[in-house]
Amino acid sequence: MLINNDTIIKDTDERIRLVSEDVPLPLSAEDEALLRDMFQYVIDSTDEEKAERLNLRPAVGISAIQVGVPKKMTAIVVDDQDKNGDPVRYEFMLVNPKIVSSSIQKAYLSAGEGCLSVAEDHEGHVVRSARVKVRAYDLLRDQNIEIKAAGYLAIVLQHELDHFKGTLFYDHIDPKDPFKEVPGAIEI
């Protein structure tokens, strides 16, 4: 499937609010091809030359609903640092991911969140759990996995899994006080 900035559905399209369905395993050829195309989009979107040539917006993740397919599939590529400050890359092609636990402690991105399906800026703190544990089938590894994520990766996972519920990041911003201080929250 061709995925670019023109084919990604935006928040003005009511389909973005659809609730996604579980995906039968093993994956059908069609579902596998879609998930691989989504993963390739994320990889290519961070290459400036490819992004410009292919009309891609930079991304760390994309969920199937963003291309009009209400299925619980997401592709994520996050460059981050491990606890020692060394660079690390997290890559996943997740099917039916589910958050099985989350921390009480909260976190948010200081620069706010963005989304391929949201053209306008929405400023404010998107408060999420600082740590999550996610279980899913990962096509990249061809096995069921458990991800223990903290910080930026935890936020990305929560953002993408929100899409399965028809929730967008700005739904989490307090409309009365977008930059409200959250006691004990980690600012990333």
Burial class (CB in 10 A: 0-12, 13-18, 19+), 24: exposed
How much is the pLDDT for 85? 87
How much is the pLDDT for 83? 81
Query: Domain for residue 170, yes or no?
Result: yes
Query: Cα(174)–Cα(54) distance, rounded to whole angstroms?
Result: 36
How many structural domains comprise the chain? Answer: 1
How much is the pLDDT for 81? 86
How much is the pLDDT for 7? 96
Q: What is the dihedral of CA 71, 145, 85, 179, to 10 degrees?
A: 40
The CATH number of whichever domain residue 72 belongs to comes to 3.90.45.10
Residue 95 — pLDDT band, cuts 50, 70, 90?
very high
How much is the pLDDT for 18? 98
How much is the pLDDT for 122? 94
Contacts of 49 (CB under 8 A, 6+ apart): none
In this prediction, what percent of the chain has a pLDDT beyond 70? 100
pTM: 0.96
How much is the pLDDT for 116? 97
Give me the active site residues, please. Answer: 160
Mean pLDDT for the stretch of residues 159-188: 96
Query: Domain for residue 4, yes or no?
Result: no
pLDDT greater than 90 at residue 82: no
Query: Domain for residue 7, yes or no?
Result: no
Mean pLDDT, the chain, rounded, equals 96
| Among the listed residues 39, 58, 40, the one whose alpha carbon sits nearest the alpha carbon of residue 48 | 58
Q: What is the pLDDT of residues 9-20, one digit of tens each?
A: 999 999 999 999
Query: Domain for residue 98, yes or no?
Result: yes
Q: 24 lies in which domain range? A: 14-187
At residue 32, φ and ψ (nearest 5 deg) are -65, -45
Q: What is the pLDDT of residues 117-166, one digit of tens each?
A: 999 999 999 999 999 999 999 999 999 999 999 999 999 999 999 999 99
How much is the pLDDT for 93? 98
Mean pLDDT for the stretch of residues 75-102: 95
The vertex-46 CA angle with 43 and 49, nearest 5°, equals 110
Query: Domain for residue 129, yes or no?
Result: yes
Query: Domain for residue 183, yes or no?
Result: yes
Query: Domain for residue 64, yes or no?
Result: yes
